[in-house]
């Protein structure tokens, strides 16, 4: 079902512009806990899109970016993404409500992105509009995927957070600091900070990533989170001398979030719904590998997420999941 929606969004663009403009990027993100063998909590995320040379949600994102990013820091680049996140309690084989565990929830959204960079700094604003609840197609996608791979069928989606329109506005700033001469294997530190405001999430974040490799470009691996992806022509604008056909690096990172609101834990904003008491401090520890060959990039990341909520037993449990990003430059 989600694939049909993705194609539907892409068809008008493909009809109007059958050949992507030079410098465009197509990005696919998939996050899942299949390899971690948990199938719980944040169980799946998918996001597809990239640089888009037209205005939609990018217009308000551009206005916000101009207020937050330094003046004169380069051209603004635009992007458009479609995504879906799925959340479940620890046991998906129980059909009854589980009031002391994480609520069932799905989030389907369209995101407009505005971004600009200069030298060692990257500023990104993303505005996401969408739906939580049954209209977000969580049951259909989850059940269809499990049917395809022969896994246990989820039985509790009728207990999910109800339908409600939802939005978020996210800002992310990254900087890059290189160590060494750059003539061989290099080392870089990439700190980041940002904030998100909306009915989906309200939080502040700070963290950093360290990477080691050869011919490194960009600001670390692109990520599914709002503001986590680089856009059309961005790499070429800030690194015009890039000529190496192969790039690789290994990386490790830490991201800490101070969470004031999380609709997937606190429940719906305008309606009664299942909820659980969230933890205000959440962190991710990441470890991964990124490889680029000519215009194609792939990054694979293992994420270890701290407990996000309390239960009657006092703990919501740690979680491991994997994140894969595939990017193609045209």
Mind listing the domains of the chain with CATH numbers?
2-16+23-329 (2.40.128.140)
Backbone torsions φ then ψ of 233, nearest 5 degrees? 65, 0
Neighbours of 15 (CB within 10 A): 8
Diameter of the chain by CA atoms? 60
Low-confidence residues of the chain, pLDDT below 50?
1-19, 241
Say how far apart CA 266 and CA 102 lie, in whole Å.
10
Which pLDDT belongs to residue 8? Answer: 37
- In degrees to the nearest 10, what's the CA dihedral of 266, 137, 324, 113? -70
- Looking at residue 36, what is its pLDDT? 75
Collapsed DSSP state (helix, strand, coil) of residue 175: strand
Q: What is the pLDDT of residue 18?
A: 46
Whether the predicted model's global pTM rises above the 0.85 cut? yes
pLDDT of residue 256: 98
Contact status, residue 169 vs residue 181, Cβ threshold 8 Å: no
Smallest Cα–Cα separation from 50: which of 330, 260, 324? Answer: 330
pLDDT score of 329 = 79
What pLDDT sits at residue 281? 97
How much is the pLDDT for 6? Answer: 40
**How many residues are there in the chain?**
330
| pLDDT attached to residue 303 | 96
Sign of the torsion formed by the C-alpha atoms of 213, 217, 222 and 226: positive
Per DSSP, helices labelled H in the chain are 2-16, 58-68, 138-149, 234-238, 263-266
Tell me, what's the pLDDT at 9? 38
pLDDT at 243: 63
């Amino acid at each position: 079902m989600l694939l049909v929606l993705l194609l539907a969004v892409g068809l008008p663009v493909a009809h109007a512009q059958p050949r992507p403009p030079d410098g465009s990027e197509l990005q696919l993100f998939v996050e899942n806990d299949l390899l971690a063998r948990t199938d719980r909590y944040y169980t799946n995320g998918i996001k597809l899109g990239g640089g888009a040379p037209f205005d939609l949600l990018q217009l308000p994102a551009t206005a916000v970016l101009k207020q937050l990013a330094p003046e004169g820091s380069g051209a603004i680049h635009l992007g458009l993404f479609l995504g879906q996140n799925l959340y479940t309690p620890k046991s998906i084989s129980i059909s009854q409500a589980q009031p002391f565990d994480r609520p069932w929830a799905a989030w389907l959204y369209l995101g407009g992105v505005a971004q600009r960079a200069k030298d060692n700094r990257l500023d990104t604003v993303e505005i996401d509009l969408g739906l939580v609840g049954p209209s977000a197609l969580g049951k259909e996608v989850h059940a269809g995927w499990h049917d395809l791979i022969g896994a246990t069928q989820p039985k509790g989606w009728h207990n999910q957070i109800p339908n409600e329109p939802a939005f978020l506005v996210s800002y992310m700033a990254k900087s890059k600091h290189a160590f060494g001469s750059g003539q061989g294997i290099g080392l870089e530190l990439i700190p980041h900070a940002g904030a998100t405001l909306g009915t989906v999430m309200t939080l502040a974040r700070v963290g950093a990533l360290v990477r080691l490799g050869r011919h490194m470009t960009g600001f670390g691996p692109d990520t599914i989170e709002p503001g986590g992806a680089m856009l059309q022509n961005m790499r070429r604008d800030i690194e015009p001398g890039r000529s190496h056909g192969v790039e690789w690096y290994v990386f490790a990172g830490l991201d800490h979030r101070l969470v004031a609101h999380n609709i997937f834990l606190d429940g719906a904003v305008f309606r009664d719904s299942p909820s659980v008491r969230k933890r205000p401090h959440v962190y991710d520890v990441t470890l991964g590998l990124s490889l680029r060959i000519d215009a194609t990039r792939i990054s694979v990341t293992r994420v270890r997420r701290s407990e996000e909520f309390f239960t009657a037993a006092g703990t919501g449990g740690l979680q491991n999941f994997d994140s894969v990003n595939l990017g193609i430059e045209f």
